[in-house]
Amino acid sequence: MARKLMHAVQYNGYGGGVAGLKHVEVPVPAPKKGEILIKTEAASINPFDWKVQKGQLRPIFPRRFPYIPGTDLAGEVIEVGPGVQHFKPGDKVVSMVNPFNGGGLAEFAITKEWVTAARPLEVSAAEGAGLGVAGLTAHQAIAQSAGIKLDGTGPPANILITAASGGVGQYAVQLAKLGNTHVTATCGARNIDLVKSLGANEVIDYKTPDGAALKSPSGRKYDAVIHCVTGIPWSVFEPNLSDNGKVIDITPSLGAIMTFALKKITFSKKQLVPLTLFPKRENYDYLINLVKEGKLKTIIDSKHSLSKAEDAWAKSIDGHATGKIIVEP
């Protein structure tokens, strides 16, 4: 590894938004046991990244300041630490950095082997970088929490996906349609055609009364809701759920956690299930393979250079991205 210093974006404390981001030259990190040093070709921004900066996830994240944000990336393996078995220098990969330590918005990043997947030539760095948090969360929600068989062999299910134009929602629609499902989706009016093109059977504008009420235009009751926005109370979901319907909430508020507990202790058939992502390499491999086969795509909202990472940051905080926001060194 010839380079000693690298360009990175970091912040030194909670708050500050875009103005809190600083461009710095820091030492290129060295991989320890089970770790891989990756030359970043593309990284993607998630709401998680700026929520950490805002202090919304304290005291868990970050472990210390200064902190280089960003978890999802795609790039080339430069060096591997002791014990790494599946990768060697020159391999193209996608990976996620440990969010406790951060490190994604930099020219080089350290990741663990267990959360790294090989990236075939057919999958561009930007497409691959989008898959981490958003793709794996969508996969966990659909395949695990909602129990949809992605080979299409399961019983029919009606699924609602909120914010289907967002980073998670776009993947959730496409993955749900691999199963035996009817998908209703919500998004803003400008993205209705896009979300239909991803496979949704019916799409409702969340700013209309029916959209706000989450009503299926065909009158369906949902067996599962993949819920990707905040601020919708249980009382809105409840009348739209089938008898055993579940709301899988990827942004659970305190109120949602209380609803979850209440539904559990009253043995309600309708359930609210808070979701926290637990990344697994086998799921990463599965998603990468779908992209390679042309069965899953990453909708890219915008691409930004690392030197203008502030624009990507502001775009994500704004909350109106269509698909993934990509940063390229």
As measured in angstroms, the least distance from the Cβ of 111 to ligand NAP is: 18
For 154-169, give the secondary structure using H, E and C: CCCEEEEECCCCCHHH
As measured in angstroms, the least distance from the Cβ of 329 to ligand NAP is: 22
Residue 303's DSSP bridge partners are 326
Pick from 231, 193, 200, 230: nearest CA to 216? 200
d(CA 98, CA 170): 24
Nearer to ligand NAP, 44 or 111 (CB): 44
As measured in angstroms, the least distance from the Cβ of 57 to ligand NAP is: 10
- Helix, strand, or coil here: 180? coil
**Which parts of this chain interact with ligand NAP (CB under 6 A)?**
46-48, 51, 133-134, 137, 162-163, 165-169, 186-188, 191, 206, 228-229, 250-251, 275-277, 316, 319-322
Whether cis (ω within 30° of 0) applies to the bond prior to 329 is: no
Nearer to ligand NAP, 80 or 277 (CB): 277
How would DSSP label each residue in 101-144? TB--SBSEEEEEGGGEEE--TTS-HHHHHHIIIIIHHHHIIIII
Nearer to ligand NAP, 15 or 319 (CB): 319
As measured in angstroms, the least distance from the Cβ of 257 to ligand NAP is: 12
Nearer to ligand NAP, 21 or 80 (CB): 21
Nearer to ligand NAP, 31 or 47 (CB): 47
Residue showing the smallest CB distance to ligand NAP in the complex: 188
Structure token digits, residue 235: 């009382």
Q: Contact at 8 Å (CB) between 155 and 211?
A: no
The enclosing H or E element of 292 equals: helix 281-292
Tokens 């909670």 appear where? 14
CA angle, residues 185, 188, 189, in degrees to nearest 5 = 105
As measured in angstroms, the least distance from the Cβ of 170 to ligand NAP is: 8
Nearer to ligand NAP, 37 or 173 (CB): 173
Nearer to ligand NAP, 18 or 229 (CB): 229
As measured in angstroms, the least distance from the Cβ of 95 to ligand NAP is: 17
As measured in angstroms, the least distance from the Cβ of 243 to ligand NAP is: 25
d(CA 18, CA 134): 22
